[in-house]
Amino acid sequence: MKIAIGSDHAGFQYKEHIKAFLMERGETVRDCGTVSEVSVDYPPIMRQVALAVADGDCDRGIVLGGSGNGEAIVANRVKGIRCALCWSVETAKLAREHNNANMISMGQRLITLDTALDIVRTWLETPFEGGRHARRIQQIDQAG
């Protein structure tokens, strides 16, 4: 699987750990930035990750910030993106099962690194249930 990843300065440390975790799993990773903990504006980075997924260049995307809120908002402005803000394994599981989330957002200031890695693992390994949820995904896509 090819995964785009990006963060602002507040999510940089987790981005680096998650990137290494993904590569250890054998995933291909496209790092869209940032490259340090120096303050940056996050919207261009998150948009780049979302566009990589929406354009089909990457299968999924992960964005990180201090809370993950702004990052998810930016990603969800891109047509075809369903970015779920995740703060637990359960939210990641439901994001895949019910929402077929092709991106996740997390906040480095709000969860532990172990939780972040568990979220990523769960999100990657959980299939979309389809069924009644597929109809709802179509409605989401029509609304955008």
Ligand-binding site membership of 31 (annotated): no
**CATH (domain of 96):** 3.40.1400.10
Q: Is the pLDDT of residue 143 over 80?
A: no
Q: Choosing from 98, 125, 129, 133, which is the catalytic residue?
A: 98
Task: Supply the range of the domain harboring residue 102.
Answer: 2-142
* Residue 27 bears catalytic tag: no
Number of domains within the chain: 1
Tens digits of per-residue pLDDT, 3-56? 999 999 999 999 999 999 999 999 999 999 999 999 999 999 999 999 999 999
Active-site residue, 90 included: no
- Which of these, 35, 67, 30, lies nearest to 50 by C-alpha position? 30
- Which residue out of 71, 90, 129, 133 is catalytically annotated? 71
Residue 69 is labelled as binding a ligand: yes
pTM of the predicted structure, to 2 decimals: 0.96
- Which residue from 140, 65, 132 is spatially nearest to 102, judged by alpha carbons? 140
Mean pLDDT for 99-118 is: 98
